[in-house]
Amino acid sequence: MIIVKKLEWMRDYVDAVSHLLPKIKQLKKISSKTGNKERFQHCHGLITYFDKKSFRITLYVTYHETLSDKIIDYSTIDLLQYLAHELAHLEHWDHTPGHKQLECILMGIFMTRLAQDGYVSEEEEEKNGSFYEREDEE
């Protein structure tokens, strides 16, 4: 699976839940997209299904804050939440109770791992910069 460099840190998270996702081998790419001021953003991420053979997940990593007119990074927690949501579509394409249950199970695993990695809070991350980019610099 190809993961864009900015989101490469997610690979360990995907690996941690892959046993719950029989179709994970069909996920070929996780890419990123940035929000901008010219286009209203309707979603945080999306999954694309190609010819009943493969999937690609695209996650927005920034959004346009209209009140301050700034482009703001999503937090690590936000990105993992969006990843869990899109991964759940591998097994439940529609937004069913089963999809939401799987999303919540994935989020539980993600948050346990995030806490083990030393993540404190979104507020701490906002104050000190992106959690995984700081880790890469050390």
pLDDT digits (tens, 9 = 90+) for 42-90: 678 889 898 778 999 999 888 877 767 788 888 999 999 999 999 999 9
Q: Where are the domains of the chain?
A: 2-129
pLDDT band at 37 (very low <50, low <70, confident <90, very high): low
Architecture of domain 2-129: 2-Layer Sandwich (3.30)
Question: Residue holding tokens 């945080």?
Answer: 44
Quote the strand ranges of 38-113, DSSP E.
45-50, 54-60, 62-65, 70-73
pTM flag (> 0.85): yes
The total number of residues written for the chain in this structure: 138
